């Protein structure tokens, strides 16, 4: 944990929706970024995210927008069902929650297009809830560190090992630290085991 945290402090990615170390992210920016990042790489999202926020700067403007305009702003990003669900979610939040994005995972999961990971990410990154946030990078890191074969790992097993790996507090920063670390070192192809700063703690065998 100490080495991962130090890595994040020195080398974590500077992303427009992220506020590094001990501060919560803006809930709206977190919602937009997390929906955009579903099945899409960070690099592809960056320009779309910035332009989308200029056009729809808050939940109200998004809720009141025409679906057609949202889809135009989304054009090129793909998986358009995400944009439609995002619009539906914005309408619900604006109408039923007074424009305030819910902070509880159980409530977030009831909104269109928001599942296990996205609800955990919003609750953790935007509200500081001590949720276990596991995206594909974190899952791969857990599989590698404990040398679990991808085809045999079950969701409950990954969560169980994640609970052992994550600190009990300040999980938001730690999750994002692993995401960045995994992106740098635990790559899907050709992981950088020879230069990895935590290789002696890792059981991975290629």
In three-state form (DSSP H/G/I as H, E/B as E, the rest C), the secondary structure along the chain is CHHHHHHHHHHCCCCCCCCCCCCCCCHHHHHHHHHHHCCCCHHHHHHHHHHHHHHCCCHHHHHHCCHHHHHHHHCCCCCCHHHHHHHHHHHHHHHHCCCCCCCCHHHHCCCCCCCHHHHHHHHHHHHCCCCCCCCHHHHHHHHHHCCCCCCCCCHHHHHHHHHHHCCCCCHHHHHHHHHHHHHHCCCCCCCCHHHCCCHHHCCCCC
Catalytically annotated residues: 34
């Amino acid at each position: 944990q100490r080495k991962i945290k130090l890595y994040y402090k020195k080398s974590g990615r500077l992303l427009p929706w992220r506020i590094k170390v001990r501060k919560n992210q803006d809930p709206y920016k977190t919602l937009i970024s997390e929906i955009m990042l579903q099945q899409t790489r960070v690099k592809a999202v960056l320009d779309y995210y910035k332009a989308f926020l200029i056009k729809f700067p808050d939940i109200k403007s998004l809720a009141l927008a025409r679906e057609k305009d949202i889809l135009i702003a989304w054009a090129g990003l793909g998986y358009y069902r995400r944009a439609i669900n995002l619009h539906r979610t914005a309408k619900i939040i604006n109408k039923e929650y007074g424009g305030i994005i819910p902070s509880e995972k159980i409530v977030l999961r009831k909104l269109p297009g928001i599942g296990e990971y996205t609800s955990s990410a919003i609750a953790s990154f935007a509200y500081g809830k001590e949720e276990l946030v596991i995206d594909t990078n974190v899952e791969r890191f857990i599989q590698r560190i404990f040398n679990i074969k991808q085809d045999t790992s079950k969701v409950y097993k990954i969560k169980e090992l994640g609970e052992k790996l994550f600190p009990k507090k300040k999980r938001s920063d730690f999750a994002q630290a692993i995401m960045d670390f995994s992106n740098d070192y635990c790559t899907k192809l050709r992981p950088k085991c020879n230069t990895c700063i935590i290789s002696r703690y890792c059981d991975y065998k290629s």
